[in-house]
Amino acid sequence: MFNRSRGATIWGDAHNNVGRDQSHCNNAYEVHGNVIHNVYSGGISPNLDDPNTLRLLAEKAAPNACYDSEQRFPPPNCHPGTRAEILAKLSQWIEGERRSSRVFWLYGSAGVGKSAIAQNLAEKFTGRKIAASFFFSRSDTSRDKLEPFFWAGSLSRQFVPTPTFSIHLAKHSSKVESEAFQKLPNTVTIDGLDECVQHPSQERLLAIIRKPITSPTHTPWVFLIFSRPEPQIRCAFDHEDFDRVLMCLAITPSAEATRDIRKYMVDCFADLRKKHRALRYEGTSWPSEDAIDKLVDRADGQFIFASTVIKFVDTHDERPQDRLETILRIYVDHGVDSPYSDLDLLYHQILSACHQWEKVQRVLRLLVTPHKCPRNDSSWKNSWHSPAMVALQLHLKHGEVEAILSRLHSVLQIPEYNTDNIHITHASFTEFLSDPNCSGKYYTPEMSKLEYYDLVATLLLHTLSTMKVHYPLYQLQSEVTTAFPLWNSMLRDQDTDFGLMRYSCFSWDAYCIQIESPSAHLFAALSCFDPYSFLSTYIFFQGINLHSPFWRDTIKWAKSFGESTLQFVGAWEPFLWGGFCVAFPPKISKQLALEWTFHLEESFLNGYTYHVDTSRKIFLQRLYFVIVEVSTIISSWGGHTLLILPADSHMILPEGWHMTHITKHNEEVFHRVLNVMGQDDMELLLDDIQMDTCEILIRKLVREDDLAHLKSFLKERRKEVIPQANDWLYRPFSGEGALTV
């Protein structure tokens, strides 16, 4: 985006502590932060027009944070005819060309309608005056931190599509003419800054904004920020440099807010009378003026109270009249001495209408817990709070989650598709559930990290165990020929359905080793673990690479629990320490099988002993009689299905299949031999193996039994796969006949 552009200002100290994901790309004028160095070190080319760069930016972007994102639909918005004064004032500021203030902070308590105002302005001015918007949310892990805000993909993806911007960037690479500049959108809106979960990050963002807008070097950007008046945000805005550039407006209970909430409720009740059969005999006198007055008074300027009341009354489970009467009665019953706020009392009433609170609470507890992972899992963007995933994690039946939550439509957004996330409609409900002083008997705290890890690890192991019953190794010998096509079909179905199997292969071990006190459910899932169906599935999804940094750690971790994990250790340890067999179906050529066997053994060696450098990798290739680059091996993979069998397997394969053995002993020999030799020594060893001589023994670098093992093993390997290439006098690099790809 910035190629061939000149005159960009780089502020060098703005982004150094946000990890490697620091770029905040703005139209074409200035970039604040050490963009070029940090982004390039993170894997992005300095050429920002490069397709790989754009792809990575897109992957790191937070599309859910955009004003028109599908995930936020339907977004909060101002009811027609309300918030007129505030919208007019903000619109005037956005459209002003000679404003003295460069930052406008609109603040107010929970539920007063800040996000609705931000949404209204984004819809009105985006592409004309607003260049980009970012909506933070603590309930969405893709937009609850500072990192996605700084990735160019989150904001610049909104700048780039502007035709005016593209034209002027091309025509004016060094400088945008003042007349054209004034026509470009230059306002950035940030909603819910207080919902950025790390308080220091909130202050840091404001510091990053403060520096360029108060610098003598002109920058075009102005910022419209919406948040609660949290202490750390107030403190950041109190910085003396903000004095001359900051405008503030508080949303507080006011006559305008009272009028707006009344209008909202009157209009919504009118709509209810039109659509509900139970209200067809009610006239405009329902609800009464007195009832509306009481509700408006209870709202006290909080639109979230009014909207939640309307959603609660709008039900087909009960008569809306009865629901409204229930709401009005709770405030009479509790009186002025109630320890709960009016909004808390409303939430109490909503939850009291739920059947089977124990089940409801289990689901809600999962919904208020952000997804956590012990390592980066950005490669899998599944919806952890979807009905389908919640049901799997809590062992519920299909459709049961929706049934359990059926009376919570006023506080939850239940998706049409069960693979989309359930959303809590307002942060105040999450805060209510998490605070025992507010929720009382409905207290529903967030799960601890280790408790959540236990839940997810159990799910992932259970997902893997569902494959065992179909694995050809465990079928009758006479059924192997028919079992393999069914197994292959199952893997391909799993590859396109939901993505959970792929993620289970990739992450189960990382979750497990973090857990200090496994639950009975996790112990049971570990007991059902089958390494061979898992490894076959793993290779299908991950490619011909048997390297995971946590596999060996799982053995040490599991052994610490004694008898509870004996079955798991007994199943998993023979693979890690003893090796395995690989069975190749007939459609895989023998040469390809040899190449893949080399890569499987190399990755097995690499994963558990030491790093195999380039010279040693070439040596291994020559030992295997294969001339092929690893990248070529990987590109030839193509999602084939192999069978992984125990090292001592006596399984009789159907005609046309071939099998190779990968053992721990081979690994140990390679380790001892390769770890002590230089390039010249390896050449001599290669000659000894191919010529059946023993010259290397004179240098006393290789044990006699190791040399004998290498000769025997490699001869057997070549005999297994390519019998015609069993002449050791044949030199692989001597021209004709060398195996190449």
DSSP summary character for residue 740: B
pLDDT at 709 over 70: yes
In terms of pLDDT, which residue wins out, 689 or 134? 134
The tens digit of pLDDT for each residue in 543-560 reads 777 766 688 899 999 999
Tokens of 343: 């909004």
Q: What is the dihedral of CA 731, 734, 736, 740, to 10 degrees?
A: 80
Residue 316 and residue 214 share a domain: no
Among the residue ranges 28-32, 89-93, 698-702, the one predicted with the least confidence is: 28-32
Residue 201 and residue 119 share a domain: yes
pLDDT band for position 147 (cuts 50, 70, 90): confident
| 591 inside domain | yes
Residue 438 and residue 367 share a domain: yes
Triad 447, 453, 454: Cα angle to 5°: 95
Greatest Cα-to-Cα distance within the chain, rounded to the nearest angstrom? 107
Q: Are strands 643-646 and 579-584 parallel, antiparallel or unpaired?
A: antiparallel
Percent residues over pLDDT 90 in the chain: 42
In terms of pLDDT, which residue wins out, 730 or 503? 503
Q: Which of 654, 652, 717, 660 has the alpha carbon at shortest distance from 689?
A: 717
| 420 inside domain | yes
DSSP summary character for residue 69: -
Tokens of 486: 């069914």
Tokens of 547: 């390297």
Measured distance CA(235)–CA(146) in Å, rounded: 18
pLDDT at 240 over 70: yes
Contacts (Cβ under 8 Å, ≥6 apart) of 258: 296, 301
Among the residue ranges 152-161, 186-195, 374-383, 665-674, the one predicted with the least confidence is: 152-161
Q: Which of 156, 111, 113 has the alpha carbon at shortest distance from 133?
A: 156
Measured distance CA(107)–CA(117) in Å, rounded: 11
Measured distance CA(54)–CA(157) in Å, rounded: 10
Measured distance CA(145)–CA(143) in Å, rounded: 6
Instruction: Using the Cα atoms of residue 600, residue 602, residue 606 and residue 608 in order, give the sign of their dihedral.
Output: positive
**Looking at residue 367, which CATH number applies to its domain?**
1.10.10
Category of 222 on φ-ψ map: left (φ > 0), alpha (ψ -120 to 50) or beta:
beta
- The predicted model gives 392-415 an average pLDDT of 94
pLDDT at 632 over 60: no
| Burial tier of 67 (Cβ tally within 10 Å: 0-12, 13-18, 19+) | buried
| 11 inside domain | no
Residue 585 and residue 698 share a domain: yes
- The predicted model gives 495-507 an average pLDDT of 80
Percent residues over pLDDT 70 in the chain: 74
Q: Output the pLDDT for position 674.
A: 73
Tokens of 336: 């002025």
| 287 inside domain | yes
Beta bridge partners of 249: 106
Triad 335, 339, 343: Cα angle to 5°: 80
Tokens of 65: 């944070």
Asked if 32 and 211 touch (Cβ cutoff 8 Å), the reply is yes
| 526 inside domain | no
Residue 91 and residue 39 share a domain: no
Residue keyed to tokens 């023979």: 574
Residue 313 and residue 222 share a domain: no
Q: Output the pLDDT for position 183.
A: 67
Residue 47 and residue 134 share a domain: no
Measured distance CA(231)–CA(708) in Å, rounded: 74
pLDDT band for position 4 (cuts 50, 70, 90): very low
Q: Output the pLDDT for position 591.
A: 73
The mean pLDDT of the chain is 79
Number of domains within the chain: 5
Per the structure, the complete domain to which residue 156 belongs is given by 63-164+180-232
The tens digit of pLDDT for each residue in 282-311 reads 888 899 999 999 999 999 899 999 999 999
Q: Output the pLDDT for position 740.
A: 34
DSSP summary character for residue 381: -
The tens digit of pLDDT for each residue in 600-629 reads 777 776 654 444 456 666 666 666 655 444
Q: Which amino acid is at 168?
A: H
For residue 223, the SS3 value is strand
| 537 inside domain | no
Beta strands in 546-590 (DSSP E): 579-584
pLDDT at 268 over 60: yes
Residue 394 and residue 310 share a domain: no
Tokens of 412: 């939850």
pLDDT at 221 over 80: yes
pLDDT band for position 67 (cuts 50, 70, 90): low
Q: Output the pLDDT for position 656.
A: 85
Among the residue ranges 97-106, 414-423, 497-506, the one predicted with the least confidence is: 497-506
Most confident of 21-30, 61-70, 606-615, 699-708: 699-708
Q: Output the pLDDT for position 398.
A: 92
Residue 367 and residue 309 share a domain: no
Residue 424 and residue 294 share a domain: no
In terms of pLDDT, which residue wins out, 26 or 337? 337
Residue 429 and residue 318 share a domain: no
| Burial tier of 160 (Cβ tally within 10 Å: 0-12, 13-18, 19+) | middle
Q: Output the pLDDT for position 712.
A: 81
Contacts (Cβ under 8 Å, ≥6 apart) of 176: 28, 29, 168, 184
Question: If you compute the radius of gyration of the chain from its CA atoms, what whole number of angstroms results?
Answer: 32
Q: From the CB of residue 611, how many other CB atoms can be counted at a distance below 10 Å?
A: 8
| 483 inside domain | no
Contacts (Cβ under 8 Å, ≥6 apart) of 15: 22, 23, 24, 32, 33, 34, 35, 38, 150, 208
Measured distance CA(724)–CA(594) in Å, rounded: 13
Q: The whole model's pTM is what?
A: 0.74
- The predicted model gives 715-728 an average pLDDT of 60
Most confident of 42-56, 145-159, 211-225, 438-452: 438-452
Asked if 521 and 460 touch (Cβ cutoff 8 Å), the reply is no
pLDDT band for position 71 (cuts 50, 70, 90): low
Domain boundary among 447, 474, 501: 447
| 458 inside domain | no
Q: Which of 453, 391, 460, 456 has the alpha carbon at shortest distance from 422?
A: 391
Residue 291 and residue 437 share a domain: no
